Structure 1
Amino acid sequence: MTTPTLVFLHGVGLDHSVWEPVAALLGDDVRVVAPDLPGHGARPPVGPAVTLADLADGVAADIPDGAHLVGFSLGAMVAQYLAIHRPELVATLTSVSSVCLRTPAERAAVLERLRTADTDVRASAQASLRRWYDGTDVDVELIARTERTLLANDPDSFVNSYRVFATADAELGPNLGRIAVPAMAVTGERDPGSTPEMTRRLAAAIPNCEAVVVPDARHMLPVERPAELVRILSTFLGRYARV
């Protein structure tokens, strides 16, 4: 039997290392692929005209046909785009801490965060760390690692990617009903941005999609609750692959 491939896609301003706590808990019965999105990690910066399609095209070559896509935040939007436009690549879709069809108030809030990122990257990073980690028991070194990753980004490239994150849900929303693979949407109960309401909104928009809310968790589920996320993934994928 072919070994299932899990493809992990990270959030804006992060890199593949955000998935290391999850990957460390997976067994040898799966193959893990965790490419950096264009403009992230060691990849060249992206320009102001970058689109969600560009980000998806930039990782598509790393994804074998019939992979199980697990996207976090911006990575979830990329995974959804691929499930719509490159369905041969996707066997199942898991969206972790994903936005969906922002309301006017939600859009205003993220556009304000985009303005902060455009004027003061350090202030943007500090605000993100507070939103993601305040009130959690995540080890301080893991939080410091996230901070180093955020501050290592090319500032213009980070803002260009953030702009995609802040706006592309409007493009994705009307097409989510075209996703034909089994899907799951997961978020933390205390996630201030990718809220439980938004996750339920995503599950309602995608056919054959279930919503899961992790009690007392915030946004950075791959770091804050890796064991819980692996358990949720294993239960879901166990129905569709030998995981």
Structure 2
Amino acid sequence: MSKPTMVLLHGVGLDHTAWDEVSALLADDFEVVAPDLPGHGTNPPAPEGTTLSDLADGVLDEVPPGSHLVGFSLGALVAQYLAVHRPGLAATLTSVSSVCRRTPAEREAVLQRLSVAESDFSASATASLRRWYDDTDVVPQAVQRTRETLMGNDPSSFVNCYRVFATGDAEVGPVLDRITIPALAITGELDPGSTPEMSRRLAEAIPSCRVVIVPGARHMLPVERPRELVSALTTFIEEEDTHV
């Protein structure tokens, strides 16, 4: 019997390697597909004017019908967009460390981070690493790998994709109620940008969405808490399978 497919979409400035530990934990039970988003990894740089639709179209061929679709941060917005505009494509949707319907203050904060990225890419990357990893027990080697991935980005491409992250929730937020597949929103208790409140907003917006908050965790759940993330994912999918 063939294994179900799980598609993992990474966050802005990262690539498929952000999922390495998660992929290894899932490998016995799922066919894991972890593509690089447009403008990331070995893909060509993302041009100015890149949209959420462009990012979604860029990974569409990597999502077999019936897949369990999982997106992290920017990847969560892409996954939500696919779930809205390609109904029937995915079997389930999981939004990991996702923003949702930012308040004016939250939008101003992310636009300020975008402004830093536009003027000083290196400073932006350093600030991201602090926001993601400060006060965690993630080993220095893992933090360094994330740093190397971030610094390997074309700066203009990073800004063009970060702009999608900063604004994409305003595009997809009003139509989240069109998502009809089972959904999970999971984030870290201490995530300063993709807060527990945002995951609760997702659960209110998507008709069949449950929430998991990981105690003591920050933003980079695939790196910081891969086992807890995989446990939440597999429990969610197993429980939904029993309802079919």
Interval of TM-score (by shorter of Structure 1 and Structure 2) = over 0.9
- How far apart, CA to CA, are the structure 2 residues paired with 1:34 and 1:241? 23
For 2:4, the equivalent position in structure 1 comes to: 4
Residue in structure 2 matched with residue 151 of structure 1 by the alignment: 151
Shift of 1:88: 2.5
SS in 1 for 2:17: helix
Q: Tell whether 2:165 aligns with 1:165.
A: yes
Residue-by-residue CA offset, 1:95-120 (whole Å, 9 max, x unaligned): 00000000000000000000000011
Aligned residues: 242
Kindly report which structure 2 residues correspond to 1:111-122, keeping only aligned pairs within 5 A, or say none. Answer: 111-122=111-122
Give the Cα separation in 1 of the matches to 2:241 and 2:123: 43
Greater shift in the superposed pair: 122-131 or 23-32: 23-32
**Aligned positions of 1:206-217 closer than 5 A:** 206-217=206-217
- What is the aligned-residue identity percentage? 67
Cα pair distance change 1:133/1:52, threshold 3 Å = same
TM-score by length of 1: 0.98
Contact persistence 1:4–1:241 (CA under 8 A) = no
One-letter amino acid matched to 1:78: V
In structure 2, distance between residues paired with 1:240 and 1:34:
23
Q: Per the alignment, in what secondary structure is the counterpart of residue 94 of structure 1?
A: strand
Q: Within 5 A, what are the aligned runs for 1:61-210?
A: 61-210=61-210
- The letter for the 2-side match of 1:8 is L
Code of the residue aligned with 2:231 in structure 1: it is R
Q: CA deviation at 1:241?
A: 4.5
Deviation per residue, 1:19-49 (Å, 9 max, x gap): 0011111242210000000000000011111
Q: For residue 15 of structure 2, what is the aligned residue in structure 1?
A: 15
C-alpha separation between the residues in 2 aligned to 1:220 and 1:77? 16
CA distance in 1, matches of 2:206, 2:190: 23
Shift of 1:168: 1.0
Shift of 1:2: 3.8
**Counterparts of 2:241 and 2:145, CA distance in 1:** 33
Q: Matches of 2:178 and 2:88 in 1, distance apart? A: 13
Matches for 1:45-60 after TM superposition, within 5 Å = 45-60=45-60
CA distance in 1, matches of 2:109, 2:208: 30
Give the C-alpha shift of residue 200 in structure 1.
Answer: 0.4
- CA distance in structure 2 between the partners assigned to 1:217 and 1:53 by the alignment: 30
What TM-score, normalized by structure 2, do the two folds share?
A: 0.97
